[in-house]
Structure 1
């Protein structure tokens, strides 16, 4: 299901376990490789720490602005100013303004496209949200998050055919050996959930049930939060929607997965 916007932004921006290496090391390498001066990078990390510790806003902003003063190419400082505006002020316009400044310096900073998309979603500007996700698909074609975000928005809008296409692409990328985030298993199940919802909503009941009995056992094993709802839907479909010769087969499978 769609993840909470603020939690997503915090996960993308503040997490120290998002990548297989320490997140601070990842950020430092990104800034160093981009050619940002060391003193600017060090000051940026002081601001990042202050933000994580919920220090006074003026202290946080002063450190990020100092990082920019030391090197105007420090796109990450603008990114974090945008996040600070969203967390502390809930000022979406100010946040987007900083994000755009960051993208002007580094258009390949993929996290910002997601963040801006989520902000537009919260504002009900779905067209702009889709545009941000489409930009990300082109800039980072192997990013599952762009497809997952688009699938989630299609879910919200009831566009289940489009949702299925994006969810299947997201799943394929999540399952890739090159994708090794700590929450990989959870994200795979999130994408599988969207695929199942799409099948059920389009009344493709046998496709939905066949897929449910493939992925359902693992969801149950891992206590996936939406598994009970899926189980209830599958049970209702078998009891009320099926008139096929396979109905008994599905009923037997249902008994097994309920054990």
Structure 2
């Protein structure tokens, strides 16, 4: 039977300097995979309502303070919880604030043998170009894009380059044994239109998988590496093998 998500929110004072620690404690609360998307949304809502820096003068949300962690870690964890853990009630995820060598811990209580990494490290393929587009979107309400390629193709090529750079950087860091690296592509943040022809065919699993194949020797320190979007897991590196999924 479905029960609504009702996190135990401590009484808030309306003074962000006092309430910030309470919201962070809520964000770190162990949460079922089935409720993690609602959990992330709750944390974002409390931040946007309470933090004076959360919104622009026009009322648009900014990626500052706790909002960076919400969009860079909590929402990717929520998408992964739905895709990989299939929104299970028996998988508990705890986000961790701070500079430790992982972003979340996992307790997998599903029956039968499970192969779940106890630690999750989260990163995204967002870069300065994405940040500039968000600024433009907040001011103008739309984003202009000028390129000899279709926007989707140019963005995809950029994300493939970013994936290589991110993995090369992460491969040089020592993580806790039993850590999986989650790489969130976030390519659906901006809606684009194609005029005069069909949308381009982009093979995300193959292109991202090629990068994993090239760098798999450098990534042996991870239990697994997943590349995924809000809609699908594209590919996975584990046990020295790269597995491609169907994608979108």
Assess same fold via TM > 0.5.
no
Which one has a larger percent helix, Structure 1 or Structure 2?
Answer: 1
By relative contact order (CA 8 Å, sep 6+), the higher-ranking structure is 2
Normalised to the residue count of structure 1, the TM-score between the two structures is 0.31
Normalised to the residue count of structure 2, the TM-score between the two structures is 0.32
